[in-house]
């Protein structure tokens, strides 16, 4: 556990250990999408992690895709997040907000005036989402116009300004798991013929413009980016993922961002999901071009995490479901205590059950 318990300088501050609480959508903020006191308790319980990544947080009313997920486009939301940030800081941890636009993974019922979801191209996903009726097929999306793309980049900046007002330590841009930025990156979902489609450089343009806009607000060494090169989650795919992501991570590295958060393999699935993707090579490219830290994610246990840190294959390890079910995960890993069994029925939506009532370890 010594490797995981070592501190690390990230941006302008030192975190107490290398364990990261991964972004975990829990859908507890209600229709207002304003964080609440139950969420304060949930995050505070897990602030034994060196770094906490918030659940994916939507940047505007037109960007939502699931019921009851939190937002960061209003002052009320920012003020509510501040309570969570202060609770995490009181435990000696740092907290990062993950900014999110779901793109085509949405349903018109969730959007203003029943508008269609936004996407790079009008290609409906073979995927589902949650609305008031429960699990439903996603709606047919509308392809974004150039002026709408430019407006979305400003939306990311506005959400980042709200994050700054709330007091977040860092920003993470969600470019993974088949959501909007990922939809721009992959050739299965991006059939555009303008400057945002076609060759790899064009498909990566939206992500890089979002990053460049955010860098005007937060310094690059306080910005992370999450990618999932091998994942097909939410009906996403690319014909040449290694070439695509070699370019993406190189460009992110050149911007000297704080970390590359990389999901190794299938999101929530096998680590060897796509042999076309060489994760070791992508990590090397990011750092060779100036990127600062690698955050590895997907199915790590204590031994795997320690080995990755010791071999310099990662600087930070993100744990998802283990943190969900074990608020005292750092202590459990350190002492080889058994882990709680996660209750999958309470992952999304509901009350404190399966959210803040997981027990701490007791001998």
Q: Which residues are catalytic?
A: 179
Do the beta carbons of residue 296 and residue 313 sit within 8 Å? yes
CA dihedral 73, 65, 54, 253 (to 10 degrees): -90
CA 117 – CA 109 distance, rounded (Å): 10
CA 202 – CA 195 distance, rounded (Å): 5
Q: Write the DSSP assignment of 125-165 as a string of letters.
A: -S-EEEETTEEEEPPPPEEPPHHHHHHHHHHHHHHHHHHHH
Per the structure block, which two tokens stand in for 63?
């960007």
3-class secondary structure, 355: coil
Per the structure block, which two tokens stand in for 359?
């027990």
Do the beta carbons of residue 16 and residue 7 sit within 8 Å? yes
* Phi, psi torsion values for 318, nearest 5 degrees: -95, 130
Name the β-bridge partners of 95: 52
Do the beta carbons of residue 117 and residue 138 sit within 8 Å? yes
Classify strands 8-10 and 316-319 as parallel, antiparallel or unpaired: unpaired
Burial of 258 (0-12, 13-18, 19+ CB in 10 A): buried
Name the β-bridge partners of 8: 15
CA 181 – CA 206 distance, rounded (Å): 7
Q: Which helix (H) or strand (E) holds 319?
A: strand 316-319
């Amino acid at each position: 556990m010594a490797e995981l318990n070592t501190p690390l300088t990230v941006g302008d501050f030192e975190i107490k250990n290398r364990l990261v609480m991964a972004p975990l959508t829990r859908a507890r903020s209600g229709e207002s999408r304003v964080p609440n006191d139950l969420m304060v308790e949930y995050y505070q319980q897990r602030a034994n992690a060196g770094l906490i990544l918030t659940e994916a947080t939507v940047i505007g009313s037109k960007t939502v895709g699931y019921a009851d997920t939190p937002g960061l486009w209003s002052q009320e939301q920012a003020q509510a997040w501040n309570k969570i940030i202060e609770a995490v800081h009181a435990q000696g941890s740092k907290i990062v907000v993950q900014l999110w636009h779901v793109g085509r993974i949405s349903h018109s019922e969730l959007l203003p005036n029943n508008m269609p979801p936004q996407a790079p191209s009008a290609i409906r996903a073979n995927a589902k989402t949650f609305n008031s009726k429960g699990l439903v097929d996603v709606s047919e999306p509308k392809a974004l116009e150039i002026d709408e793309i430019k407006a979305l980049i400003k939306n990311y900046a506005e959400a980042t300004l709200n994050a700054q007002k709330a007091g977040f330590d860092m920003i993470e841009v969600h470019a993974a798991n088949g959501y909007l930025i990922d939809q721009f990156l992959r050739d299965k979902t991006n059939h555009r013929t303008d400057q945002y489609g076609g060759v790899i450089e064009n498909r990566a343009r939206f992500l890089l413009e979002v990053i460049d806009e955010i860098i005007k607000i937060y310094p690059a060494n306080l910005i992370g980016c999450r990618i999932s090169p091998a994942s097909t989650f939410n009906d996403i795919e690319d014909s040449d993922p290694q070439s695509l992501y070699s370019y993406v991570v190189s460009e992110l590295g050149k911007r000297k961002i704080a970390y590359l958060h990389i999901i190794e393999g299938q999101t929530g699935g096998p680590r060897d999901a796509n042999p076309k993707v060489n994760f070791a090579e992508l990590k090397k490219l990011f750092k060779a071009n100036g990127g600062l830290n690698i955050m590895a994610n997907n199915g790590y246990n204590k031994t795997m995490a320690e080995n990755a840190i010791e071999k310099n294959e990662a600087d930070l390890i993100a744990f998802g479901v283990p943190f969900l079910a074990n608020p005292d995960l750092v202590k459990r890993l350190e002492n080889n205590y058994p882990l709680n069994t996660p209750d999958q029925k309470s992952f999304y939506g509901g009350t404190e059950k399966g959210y803040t009532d997981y027990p701490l370890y007791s001998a």
